[in-house]
C-alpha cells in the first residue's frame, strides 16, 4: 500500500461523525407494584418533596418485575408524563409484558432484559413456574465477590461534577467527596474523609457490598440499587463515622467502631 493510500484511509477515518463506547451510568429504578395514576402522583409528590434537588432530569427505568396489577391498566404515555412532572425522565422498561413493549416502541422507550416472571394462574390463583425459553442462562456482569486486585485508591479530593468508578473491586477514597460528586464501585466504598456527594456500592448487584465513611454528609447512599436520600440519612448518625450495609432489602446505618476496643 502506498503512502498516499494510507494517508487517504486515515483522512477518511478522521471524518467519522461518532464513536461508540461502553460506559457505566447510574440509573434510578422505579419498581411499579400496581398502576393507579392518582396514587402514583401523590406518592411521587411526597418522595420528591423529601429531596427536590435530587429529582431534576433524573433518568429512570420503569421496572415491572414486582408488578401485581393488570398490565392493561398501564398507559405508558400517561406514566411518562407523570414522571416528567416530577423531574424524572423514563428511558426504558424492564420486565414488561408484550403489550407494554408494543407501547414502549410508540413512546420511544428502550426494553431491558429481565428475569423470567412467575405469573399466577388466573383460575386457581396459584403460581405457575415458567421455564426460560432461552438456552443461554443469564450471566452476571462481574464476579459476585469483587476482586481485591481491582480495587482503586483515590488520594485526591473528588470534586463536584466528577465521577469515579471502581469496576470489579472496592473504591478507597483518602480525601473528601464534595457535594455534586459521584463515586461508584462494584464492591465496597471506603471514604476516609467527609462524604458529601453520592456513593453507590455494589452497582452490579452485589448485595454484600458496604459503604464506610468518616463523616456521613451524603446526598445519596446506594447499595445494589437500594438507596436513601439526604433527608433519610439525616438521623442520629449524621456527620459521624458510619458503616452502611444492606439488610432485608433496606439500608442499615450503624456507628463505625474500633473492633480492637
Chain center to CA of 242: 22
The whole-angstrom separation of Cα 93 and Cα 96 is: 6
Q: Which is it for strands 226-229 and 220-223: parallel, antiparallel or unpaired?
A: antiparallel
What are the residues whose beta carbons fall under 8 Å from the beta carbon of 64, sequence distance 6 or more?
32, 71, 93, 94, 95, 96, 97, 100, 114
Span 155-197, pLDDT tens digits: 999 999 899 999 999 999 999 999 989 999 999 999 999 999 9
The whole-angstrom separation of Cα 209 and Cα 250 is: 13
- At residue 27, the pLDDT reads 74
- pLDDT of 131 > 90? The answer is no
CB 164 within 8 A of CB 190: no
The CATH T-level fold of domain 148-255 is Pectate Lyase C-like (2.160.20)
Residue range(s) in the chain whose domain bears CATH number 2.160.20.70: 148-255
Name the least confident of 29-33, 130-134, 242-246.
130-134
Domain 28-112 is in which class?
alpha beta
Average pLDDT along the chain: 80
Helical (H) or strand (E) element with 117? none
Residue range(s) in the chain whose domain bears CATH number 3.30.70.260: 28-112
Q: Using alpha carbons, list the distances in angstroms from residue 165 to 8, 181, 184, 187, 210.
A: 38, 11, 5, 10, 15
Span 25-72, pLDDT tens digits: 667 888 899 999 999 999 998 888 766 666 778 888 999 988 998 888
Helical (H) or strand (E) element with 48? helix 37-50
Amino acid at each position: 500500500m502506498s503512502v498516499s493510500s494510507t494517508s487517504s484511509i486515515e483522512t477518511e477515518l478522521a471524518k467519522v461523525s461518532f464513536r461508540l463506547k461502553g460506559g457505566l451510568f447510574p440509573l434510578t429504578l422505579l419498581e411499579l407494584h400496581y398502576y393507579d395514576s392518582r396514587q402514583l402522583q401523590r406518592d411521587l409528590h411526597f418522595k420528591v418533596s423529601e429531596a427536590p434537588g435530587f429529582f431534576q432530569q433524573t433518568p429512570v427505568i420503569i421496572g415491572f418485575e414486582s408488578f401485581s396489577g393488570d398490565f392493561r391498566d398501564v398507559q405508558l404515555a400517561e406514566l411518562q408524563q407523570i414522571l416528567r412532572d416530577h423531574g424524572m425522565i423514563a428511558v426504558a422498561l424492564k420486565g414488561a409484558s408484550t403489550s407494554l413493549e408494543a407501547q414502549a416502541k410508540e413512546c420511544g422507550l428502550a426494553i431491558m432484559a429481565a428475569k423470567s416472571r412467575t405469573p399466577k394462574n388466573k383460575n386457581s390463583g396459584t403460581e405457575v413456574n415458567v421455564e426460560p425459553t432461552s438456552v443461554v442462562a443469564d450471566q452476571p456482569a462481574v464476579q459476585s465477590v469483587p476482586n481485591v486486585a481491582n480495587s482503586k485508591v483515590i488520594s485526591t479530593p473528588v470534586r463536584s461534577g466528577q465521577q469515579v468508578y471502581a469496576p470489579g473491586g472496592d473504591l478507597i477514597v483518602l480525601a473528601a467527596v464534595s457535594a455534586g460528586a459521584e463515586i461508584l464501585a462494584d464492591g465496597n466504598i471506603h471514604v476516609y474523609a467527609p462524604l458529601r456527594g453520592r456513593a453507590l456500592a455494589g452497582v452490579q448487584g452485589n448485595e454484600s457490598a458496604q459503604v464506610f465513611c468518616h463523616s456521613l454528609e451524603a446526598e445519596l447512599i446506594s447499595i445494589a440499587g437500594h438507596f436513601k436520600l439526604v433527608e433519610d440519612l439525616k438521623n442520629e448518625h449524621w456527620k459521624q463515622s458510619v458503616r452502611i450495609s444492606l439488610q432485608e432489602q433496606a439500608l442499615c446505618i450503624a456507628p463505625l467502631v474500633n473492633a480492637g476496643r
